[in-house]
Amino acid sequence: MNGPVKTHPDEPLGQIEVAGAIAGALWFGVLLFWWLSQPEGQGPGLLMTAFLMVLPLAMIVGLVSSLRSVRLLRAEAERLRMALDVQRQNAPPRPSAVRAPPQPAPPPEEQTVFALDVPEPSQLTIADYIVAMNFPDSEDDAEGINALNLALADHDTAKVIRAAQDVLTLLSQDGVFMDDLASEPAPAEAWRRFGAGERGPSVAQLGGVTDRNVLNIVGQRMRDDQIFRDAAHHFLRAFDRSVSGFIRAATDTELEWFGQTRTSRAFMLLGRATGTFD
C-alpha cells in the first residue's frame, strides 16, 4: 500500500460494459452482413443504413450508461450504509446512562498520535485519521472499518465523519460521487494556511474541483434544497474545526494523502460551490 488513501478513479470494466460491447459488435456485424448481401442497387440506401446502425448502438450505449450509474449508486449506498452501521455501534450512551469509558491503552511506539483538541487521550493516529476520512471501501475493508471505529471514538472527529456521511449521501442522490470527481491536488502549504485560519483567495488552491456540470448541480441544490444547504454548511463548519490539529501535526506527504480522501473532495466541492475560496 503506497499510502493510507485508497481511491478507485479508474473502475475496471464490469459485466454490464462487456455485455454492451458484445451486443454492439453483434448488431454491427449483422447489419453489415445484411447490407453487403443485398443485390447491387437495392436495399435501404446509405442514409437509412447509417440510421439503422447508429440508433440501436446509441440505445445500447445509453442503456449501459444507465445501468452503470445504478450500479455506482448502489455501491455508494452500500458503503454509506455500512459506515452508518459502524457509527451506530459506536454511538455514545444516552445522557441518563452512567458514563465511565475505560482509558485506552497507550499507542504503539512506532505510531505517531497527533494531538486532538480533546482532554482525553486518543489512539487515533494520523494514518487512521486519513483512512477514516476516506470511509471504508466495503464491508470487507478491515483497515477502513478499524480506522473509522477509532475516529468515531473521538468526539470532534466523529462530528465531521457524520457530517461528511450526510453530505455524501445527499450528493449521491444527484449522481455525484467523490470517486468519480476529478480534482486538482492542493499543495501542503495551502492546507497549512487553511489550518492557520486563512480563508478566501489565499487558500483558493484547495478548491481544486472545477467540473462546471457538478458545480452547477451542487449550486442549484444549495439554492433549492434547504436540507442540503443546512447539511453542507454544517459539514463545512465541522471540517473547519476538525482538521486544524491534524494539519499542524501532519507531514506534507500526509497532507497530500488527506487531500485525496472522499471527505476532502467533498470539502473542495462544497467550498467551491459556497464561495469559501473567493
- Asked if residues 174 and 222 have their Cβ atoms less than 8 Å apart, the reply is no
DSSP annotation of 9? S
72: in domain:
yes
4: in domain:
no
48: in domain:
yes
Question: Cell 451486443 identifies what position?
Answer: 23
The per-residue pLDDT for 91 is 42
- Asked if residues 184 and 99 have their Cβ atoms less than 8 Å apart, the reply is no
User: Which of 178, 177, 143, 149 has the alpha carbon at shortest distance from 161?
Assistant: 149
Name 68's Cβ contacts closer than 8 Å, sequence gap at least 6. Answer: 14, 16, 17
Question: Cell 440508433 identifies what position?
Answer: 55
The per-residue pLDDT for 159 is 92
Side-chain-facing half-sphere of 57: CA atoms under 13 Å: 15
207: in domain:
yes
User: Which of 170, 144, 154 has the alpha carbon at shortest distance from 261?
Assistant: 144
The per-residue pLDDT for 166 is 94
46: in domain:
yes
Write out the E strands in 147-229.
Answer: none
75: in domain:
yes
| Mean pLDDT split into 10-residue runs, the chain, 278 residues | 48 65 73 64 60 70 67 59 52 35 38 42 81 90 91 90 93 90 88 90 88 92 94 94 90 93 94 86
113: which strand partners?
125
105: in domain:
no
Number of domain units in the chain: 1
Q: Torsion over CA of 62, 63, 67 and 73, rounded to 10 degrees?
A: 30
Task: Enumerate helices (H) and strands (E) in the chain, giving the number of each.
Answer: 10, 0
3-state secondary structure of 204: helix
The per-residue pLDDT for 115 is 43
Query: pTM of the predicted model, to two decimals?
Result: 0.59
Question: Cell 467551491 identifies what position?
Answer: 272
Q: Which domain holds residue 63?
A: 15-94+110-274
Calculate the alpha carbon distances from 241 to 78, 96, 237 in Å.
28, 28, 6
The per-residue pLDDT for 247 is 92
- Other Cβ atoms less than 10 A from the Cβ of 64: the count is 19
